[in-house]
Structure 1
């Protein structure tokens, strides 16, 4: 963009008759492509409608199959037009599957709601989807006992709130609900609660961290986050590396937001009393020292017999980056090739890195497609893919011809306007 195109002498140079020929080829190709695309869209919509009808069936296996088909479709395509007038119908059936279905059905339905939110994108529809689903998802978390189902619902709650929340209170409500599952002692339930399996706990902390990244745009009271910081620091001692890594990523956000770097001269939102300010400052300083000491250990941990080599390297790398960030203020950068060697999605803050890691995990095989075509992801990561480089030679020539035709038309229009302005300047003035 912004650079003029220079014609090359030789094969790419053509006169007006060539342009007419190319234009006719372009029209023919466009009509053929449009016809094929319309046929495909109609066929795809027919299949999707069949899946929706199947969600009303009494047989659980039938609903599971339909949900699986919908999940695959929403992973592989960005179905904006299809969901525009159907998202409430879809959401209602998905919630029914979470409430009455098997663990597999509930997990598929939770994933389907998250994909629906990602497809809708930010806006009023996303907020409506969040308002309709949050209470039902929260209820499923409170009343359910299946750990795998809880993990899927936590992911879903994180996604719908991330996309649909309009203010801090809505985000904090979902964060609180999620945290009570991760750390049951923080909730009202005093009865013994079964500890989440390590893989589920790691996924739950990642989901909570993903949503927590959104609070950076609001003023925050560090005093509210003392308990999460304390519990996350204990998870750095967990026997499972995936849990330690998830906790480390969450702690990195606390460092980036400055919550662990409070000093007694900083104005703290919601804390006016001088003694309270000093208490918050002292607590954060002690937690920072404890966390950095453990991070240093984890960054150089030696591998033992039977350890997961990949997780060990990931752990060392993460905690070394956290230490470097605290010392220098420089955040690591991630670059992912999305379309070609010229289209890279980049994450250069801890907030973006955690968001990218979560969305890659949640979207799975659908991440690349959504990174290419979903404007929501483009907005989150400030990414604009250059698709023109994937065109064939004939498509590039057609595109170049159409671009030059448009520029010529604009130049002719500008010249005409300029002539009219000059003529007006020389018209006799009425007295």
Structure 2
């Protein structure tokens, strides 16, 4: 029977060594060794993360540089793709530092695409021009862009022989459709930017519009009035004539008139009281005729503009009431309850939703407040003036609107949100409710909504209760 060995053979030599006991000192050394190894691993991981972020940023900027270079390519398809790539980047990220040194290059490319490109390319270039100004803010850099591009936009807008697609967006309204931004809309945004959307500050405070009147940059109120007259010359062609007849226009021309109306309404939000009074006398009696248009987007644009006019009028005179209020309310009520079978279901649903709010605004001076949440903040859209402003910016930045509301100092200044609020990811994660809590909340809301609707649908309920 063999006895167990008490010594081990060393692998490096052939000698044997006795096994030493594991002391407290060895334990402390082992612990220190492991902690040091762990911290080294973390530091390496952090450095690797920083390196990967830097690499990703470099790759992103390299791609943007490629887009800028491709805007002067001979192929129209390549130029179009480059413009779309720049639009997406500017709509979803803040690129001020990157764009600042390249603004003139980008401006030259936009000018070239506007002058020599076709409809789709010109539309993309027009949208990119406005996004460029939103990125640069209200400083001298934007003024340089505006001075360069203003004559080009004005020429296209006034040129009746120009490509109709260059003068308006695709199939759909600026606010309600899926089309791109129109040259009219972009030119309007330019005028708003430099006539004082942020610098000549207008302040919306519970249906109160205040304009500080002084000159800023290269645009004055006279420039704003001249631009509004340009838009009036477009959408007023869709007014009914004195004998009740109206001119017949094609779908694309109607879309152009819709854009011009919305652009005109946006400029009206920064006009002083004297100009608002002139507009009310001139346009409010005729604008209801646009509610009879065959185009749903024109009807909606006209309804929202009428609500805006009533809001501005009541800011000046709380007892404002036009002569033909009852016929107007009758038209609005008919559109809010429209059941014509020859109209598409989606059009009727969208129209009824909008005109219920418009009718309430005209009859009662009320507005359905909408809350916009972004990050840890929230913003209330509590009047038609603010809604028109919000819709105009959202048209250009699209799904990136919440990001810009959270981080873009210029847009935050426009909506009086103050400096950007810095919140770390841990705080954001802690604020989010769990999926189970969200499920319980939705279930409770669904149950309450079902009960309310069932009560309304019950024929035995006394109608007088409602």
The corresponding residue for 2:233 is: 180
Listed as ranges, the matches of 1:42-191 within 5 Å are 42-143=58-159, 144-151=161-168, 152-165=182-195, 166=216, 167-184=220-237
Distance 1:56 1:394, change over 3 A: closer
How far off its partner does 1:373 sit? 2.2
How far off its partner does 1:290 sit? 4.4
Question: Does structure 2 retain, via aligned residues, the 8 Å contact 1:126–1:160?
Answer: no
Q: Does 1:252 align with 2:286?
A: no
The corresponding residue for 1:399 is: none
In structure 1, the residue corresponding to 2:138 is in which secondary structure? coil
Question: How far apart in 2 are the matches of 1:320 and 1:393?
Answer: 37
Aligned counterpart in structure 2 of residue 391 of structure 1, from 426, 430, 441: 426
How far off its partner does 1:395 sit? 10
Q: Does 1:363 align with 2:397?
A: yes
Which sections of structure 1, spanning at least 5 residues, go unmatched?
A: 1-22, 187-191, 267-280, 397-431
The corresponding residue for 1:343 is: 377
Question: Does structure 2 retain, via aligned residues, the 8 Å contact 1:255–1:261?
Answer: no
Q: Does 1:353 align with 2:387?
A: yes
Question: How far apart in 1 are the matches of 2:402 and 2:429?
Answer: 26
Structure 1 stretch displaced more, 103-112 or 127-136: 127-136
Q: TM-score, normalised by structure 1?
A: 0.69
Question: How far apart in 1 are the matches of 2:428 and 2:380?
Answer: 29
Aligned counterpart in structure 1 of residue 332 of structure 2, from 295, 308, 314: 295
Distance 1:124 1:222, change over 3 A: same
How far off its partner does 1:350 sit? 0.7
In structure 2, the residue corresponding to 1:332 is in which secondary structure? coil
Structure 1 stretch displaced more, 128-137 or 97-106: 128-137
The corresponding residue for 1:222 is: 277
Listed as ranges, the matches of 1:310-321 within 5 Å are 310-321=346-357
Question: Does structure 1 retain, via aligned residues, the 8 Å contact 2:404–2:411?
Answer: yes
Question: Does structure 2 retain, via aligned residues, the 8 Å contact 1:147–1:196?
Answer: no
How far off its partner does 1:293 sit? 3.4
The corresponding residue for 1:381 is: 415
The answer to which structure has the higher helix fraction is: 1
Distance 1:125 1:96, change over 3 A: same
Two-structure CA RMSD over aligned residues (Å) = 3.6
Question: Does structure 2 retain, via aligned residues, the 8 Å contact 1:128–1:164?
Answer: no
The corresponding residue for 1:207 is: 263
Distance 1:328 1:185, change over 3 A: closer
Q: TM-score, normalised by structure 2?
A: 0.65
In structure 2, the residue corresponding to 1:61 is in which secondary structure? helix
Question: How far apart in 2 are the matches of 1:260 and 1:123?
Answer: 31
Question: Does structure 2 retain, via aligned residues, the 8 Å contact 1:222–1:259?
Answer: no
How far off its partner does 1:138 sit? 0.9
Question: Does structure 1 retain, via aligned residues, the 8 Å contact 2:288–2:302?
Answer: yes
Question: How far apart in 1 are the matches of 2:291 and 2:313?
Answer: 20
Question: How far apart in 2 are the matches of 1:250 and 1:394?
Answer: 41
In structure 2, the residue corresponding to 1:335 is in which secondary structure? strand
How far off its partner does 1:390 sit? 4.1
Distance 1:369 1:103, change over 3 A: same
How far off its partner does 1:185 sit? 8.6
How far off its partner does 1:368 sit? 3.2
**Is the radius of gyration larger for structure 1 or structure 2?**
2
Q: State how many pairs are aligned.
A: 347
Which sections of structure 2, spanning at least 5 residues, go unmatched?
A: 1-38, 169-181, 196-215, 240-246, 432-466
Question: Does structure 1 retain, via aligned residues, the 8 Å contact 2:280–2:313?
Answer: no
Question: How far apart in 1 are the matches of 2:119 and 2:404?
Answer: 27
Distance 1:41 1:228, change over 3 A: farther
Q: Does 1:286 align with 2:323?
A: yes
Structure 1 stretch displaced more, 315-324 or 138-147: 315-324
